[in-house]
Structure 1
Amino acid sequence: MENEKPIMNEVDNSSNEKVVALNHLESNGNAPISQKDPGGFTIPDPDAHLSAEEKAAIDKKLVRKLDWTLIPILCILYLLAFLDRTNIGNAKIDGLQKSLHGMTTGQYNATLSIFFVSYAVFEPLTNILLKRLRPSVFIPIIMVIWGICMTFMGFVYNWSGLMAARWFLGMAEAGLFPGINYYLSCWYKRSEFGIRAAIFFSAAAVSGSFGGLLAAAIEKMNGLGGRPGWAWIFILEGIVTVLFGISAIWLVHDFPDDAKFLSEQDRERVIRRLKLDQQSSAEHEEFKMKYVWMSLKDYKMWLGMIIYMGCDMPLYAFSLFLPSIINELGYSSTKAQLLTVPPYAAAAILTIVIGYIADRTKQRGLCNILVSFLGIAGFAMLLGSQKAGVKYAGTFLGALGIYPCIANTISWVANNIEGVYKRGVVLGFVIGWGNLNGIVSSNIYYKSPKYTVGHAVVMAYMIVCLLGGSVVLRILLARENKLRKAGKRDHWVEGLSDHHVEALGDMRPDFYYTL
Structure 2
Amino acid sequence: MGAYTQKPDGFGPQSDDKVDVEQAERPGVAQTTLQSFAHLNEKAILRKMDLRLIPMLALLYLLSFLDRGNIGNAKIEGLQEDLNLTDGQYNWCLTAFFFPYAAFEVPSNLMLKKVRPSIWLPSIMVAWGFVMTLMGIVHNYTGLLTARFFLGVTEAGLFPGVAYYLTNWYKRDEIQLRQALFFSAASVAGAFSGLLAFAIGKMDGVAGLHGWQWIFILEGIATVFVASVAFFALFDFPETAGFLTEEERAFVVYRLKYQGQSQDPNRAQVAQADEFKWKYVKDAFLDWQVWVNIFVYWGVVCPLYGTSLFLPTIIRQLGYQSSDAQLMTVPIYITAAILAVVAAYFSDRVGRRSPFIIGFLLMMAVGFSMCIGIDPKQHPRIVYAGVFIAVCSIYPAFPGVVSWLSNNLSGSLKRSVGMAIQIGVGNMGGAFASNFYHARDGPRFMLGHGLELAFIGAGLIASVILLVGYTTANRKRASEIDRGALDSYTATELSEKGDKAVTYRYVY
**TM-score scaled by length of structure 2:** 0.92
Q: Deviations over 1:245-270 (max 9, x none)?
A: 11111111111123233222121010
Q: Deviations over 1:156-198 (max 9, x none)?
A: 0111011111111111111011111101011111000011111
Distance 1:211 1:321 in 2: 13
Q: Deviations over 1:342-381 (max 9, x none)?
A: 1111111111111111111112011111111111011111
**How far does residue 449 in structure 1 lie from its aligned partner after superposition?**
1.8
Asked if 1:407 corresponds to 2:399, the answer is yes
**Is the Cα contact below 8 Å between 1:37 and 1:275 reproduced in 2?**
no
Q: Partner of 1:225 in structure 2?
A: 207
Distance 1:106 1:162 in 2: 13
Q: Partner of 1:73 in structure 2?
A: 56
Equivalent residue for 1:457, pick from 447, 451, 459: 451
**Is the Cα contact below 8 Å between 2:28 and 2:270 reproduced in 1?**
no
Distance 2:483 2:92 in 1: 52
**Is the Cα contact below 8 Å between 2:7 and 2:13 reproduced in 1?**
no
Equivalent residue for 1:372, pick from 343, 356, 361: 361
Distance 2:108 2:172 in 1: 22
Q: Partner of 1:394 in structure 2?
A: 386
**Is the Cα contact below 8 Å between 1:40 and 1:498 reproduced in 2?**
yes
- Report the CA distance shift for 1:111/1:14 in structure 2 as closer, same or farther (over 3 A): closer
Q: Which runs of structure 1 show a deviation greater than 3 angstroms over 4 or more consecutive aligned residues?
A: 7-12, 14-17, 23-26, 35-40, 43-47, 278-286, 488-496
**How far does residue 296 in structure 1 lie from its aligned partner after superposition?**
2.2
- Report the CA distance shift for 1:492/1:200 in structure 2 as closer, same or farther (over 3 A): farther
**Is the Cα contact below 8 Å between 1:257 and 1:282 reproduced in 2?**
no
Q: Deviations over 1:112-138 (max 9, x none)?
A: 000001101111221111111110111
3-state SS, counterpart of residue 296 of structure 1: helix
Distance 2:75 2:146 in 1: 17
- Report the CA distance shift for 1:330/1:257 in structure 2 as closer, same or farther (over 3 A): same
- Report the CA distance shift for 1:12/1:450 in structure 2 as closer, same or farther (over 3 A): closer
Asked if 1:138 corresponds to 2:116, the answer is no
Distance 1:38 1:212 in 2: 58
Asked if 1:164 corresponds to 2:157, the answer is no
Q: Partner of 1:181 in structure 2?
A: 163
Asked if 1:341 corresponds to 2:330, the answer is yes
Q: Partner of 1:63 in structure 2?
A: 46
**Is the Cα contact below 8 Å between 2:299 and 2:361 reproduced in 1?**
no
**Is the Cα contact below 8 Å between 2:12 and 2:259 reproduced in 1?**
yes
- Report the CA distance shift for 1:339/1:493 in structure 2 as closer, same or farther (over 3 A): same
- Report the CA distance shift for 1:487/1:12 in structure 2 as closer, same or farther (over 3 A): farther
Distance 1:462 1:38 in 2: 47
Q: Partner of 1:363 in structure 2?
A: 352
Give runs of aligned pairs for residues 3-402 of structure 1, distance below 5 A.
Answer: 13-17=10-14, 23-25=18-20, 35=23, 40-42=28-30, 44=32, 48=36, 52=38, 54-55=39-40, 58-100=41-83, 102-278=84-260, 285-385=274-374, 386=376, 387-402=379-394
Q: Match for 2:445: what amino acid?
A: Y
Distance 2:428 2:498 in 1: 28
**How far does residue 98 in structure 1 lie from its aligned partner after superposition?**
1.1
Distance 2:303 2:361 in 1: 11
**How far does residue 46 in structure 1 lie from its aligned partner after superposition?**
9.2
**Is the Cα contact below 8 Å between 2:99 and 2:428 reproduced in 1?**
yes
Distance 1:207 1:83 in 2: 5
Distance 1:421 1:493 in 2: 25
- Report the CA distance shift for 1:372/1:39 in structure 2 as closer, same or farther (over 3 A): farther
Q: Partner of 1:486 in structure 2?
A: 479
**How far does residue 47 in structure 1 lie from its aligned partner after superposition?**
7.1
**How far does residue 484 in structure 1 lie from its aligned partner after superposition?**
1.4
Distance 2:96 2:393 in 1: 26
Q: Match for 1:345: what amino acid?
A: I
**How far does residue 452 in structure 1 lie from its aligned partner after superposition?**
1.0
- Report the CA distance shift for 1:39/1:317 in structure 2 as closer, same or farther (over 3 A): farther
Equivalent residue for 1:432, pick from 420, 424, 444: 424
- Report the CA distance shift for 1:262/1:8 in structure 2 as closer, same or farther (over 3 A): closer
3-state SS, counterpart of residue 259 of structure 2: coil
**How far does residue 20 in structure 1 lie from its aligned partner after superposition?**
5.3
3-state SS, counterpart of residue 174 of structure 2: helix
Distance 2:218 2:80 in 1: 20
**Is the Cα contact below 8 Å between 2:272 and 2:495 reproduced in 1?**
no
Equivalent residue for 2:493, pick from 483, 500, 505: 500
**Is the Cα contact below 8 Å between 1:45 and 1:268 reproduced in 2?**
no
3-state SS, counterpart of residue 417 of structure 1: coil
**Is the Cα contact below 8 Å between 1:346 and 1:400 reproduced in 2?**
yes
**TM-score scaled by length of structure 1:** 0.91
Distance 1:10 1:454 in 2: 43
Distance 2:240 2:147 in 1: 36
Distance 1:281 1:220 in 2: 60
Fraction of identical pairs, as percent: 43
**Is the Cα contact below 8 Å between 1:493 and 1:508 reproduced in 2?**
no
Which residues of structure 2 form unaligned runs of 5+? 262-268
Q: Match for 1:377: what amino acid?
A: V
- Report the CA distance shift for 1:378/1:76 in structure 2 as closer, same or farther (over 3 A): same
Q: Match for 1:263: what amino acid?
A: T
- Report the CA distance shift for 1:11/1:382 in structure 2 as closer, same or farther (over 3 A): closer
3-state SS, counterpart of residue 187 of structure 1: coil
- Report the CA distance shift for 1:38/1:451 in structure 2 as closer, same or farther (over 3 A): farther
Q: Partner of 1:510 in structure 2?
A: 503
3-state SS, counterpart of residue 423 of structure 1: helix
* Aligned alpha-carbon RMSD (Å): 2.5
Q: Match for 2:394: what amino acid?
A: I
Q: Match for 2:303: what amino acid?
A: P
**Is the Cα contact below 8 Å between 2:332 and 2:391 reproduced in 1?**
yes
**How far does residue 489 in structure 1 lie from its aligned partner after superposition?**
9.1
**How far does residue 401 in structure 1 lie from its aligned partner after superposition?**
2.1
